[in-house]
Structure 1
């Protein structure tokens, strides 16, 4: 995916959206199993267009600085989220679990704000904590604690249970919350209040939380206070489908494209991963299928994880 005037890397497939230096990049892996990795910036305001050119295949797993190619070069279903076949997904999980054994590198525990969908907890390596939070589409965050991986995960498990926080917040709820994100001051107040509730429970088993300041991420995404209300979302891609529009916002791995024909379209970047693609002229229009946006409903007044509305007890 590039500007209309650009060209896509030859024989490459998109595999991820990453946020180094607080800027979104579309990551590409070479179709050749021995190939490497490249990146294209996702620049807000650019006109972007692409068309599916080949079948969708698993791109294999990265281990350190080398890629382990998919042994079967497995085809992926258009409905799959991500660019890994089941076998490679298991390999990735095994590699992650092995890396976590005896991991002494600093990790960080965050309270994360997903708008009115929920407040939750997240654990991430300290050295790339900010990037990981952005890749998860978090609207605001507040660091609670830093320590070894095992200590931070143990702390997270205890707090998650004590505070009845959700294990995960479903993507449709996170996206619906972006229609009414509020402002940075509201999110900061929520996180500070949540920290006070967490502090009450923390004293029962550990040292008090260090003081920290909420960090808001909506401006990084260019998510306006009044929110974004897409007219449609991209359906699973099919061969020869074309997509075009002006990039107005990127939140995590979600892209928001403004298109004359379709209006504001939500593109789940994971739907693109693994497809062979080529640059498409914007004159081809938007031929890919779209569908109504999921879960465009008001949140119930008490959503698990809304700590700002709970009192210590």
Structure 2
């Protein structure tokens, strides 16, 4: 009797496992279907797209869409293709991510391990900053950028994203550092470590998970931003998101180039995908590290 019961439980467990994996595979296929359509369409010619099946594989494969989406030829302040604007986005995203992450880590360290009068008020103001909509910053930032001579420039966009991102990175790092024992900082002080030395040699070495969270969050937000890019830049200073919008909505022949549009969308999305693949394993670890204290 016991053997029959155990066999029944085993068969039931196997059936449940098969059903679970089957549902997961169906869900994965459902969410990956748009990506499949984008990839296959990007490798088709316009003739294949207009006369073929949406889900059919390219026959033959064509790189024309990718070449037209990437190739860049500039006339005056306007460029065709995404190559020029891709490097624009790299030029402001990388320094903005590094600056906002560095200042966020330093702020989080100060607000948790070096308490001072009014620190809670400052943290509260930074917290409020994370809930302020983008649109409320547009006019003040545009005026400031014009006053300092950084309007319509990649450098100005770097400054905007760096300043706006500090509130988020400070919140992340502060919640993470709350869970770090105060005794580590006290021991460093007793040993004669300075403010910066304690941060560099004690705090930073154990901050990898939360720093990766900040990098992934900031990179995704900054790279994918459209609003700041279209408001604070113009012409050849546009980021790739604005250039992709222009690419999709313009055609010299009047014919919708779906292969070029799909290739451009994939090119635009690739950097964030690479960042998630490289650093994604730290993301959940860093998000939950300070969730039970502070």
TM-score normalised by L of structure 2: 0.21
Q: In terms of Rg, which structure is larger?
A: 2
TM-score normalised by L of structure 1: 0.20
Going by fraction, where is helix more abundant, 1 or 2? 2
Going by fraction, where is strand more abundant, 1 or 2? 1
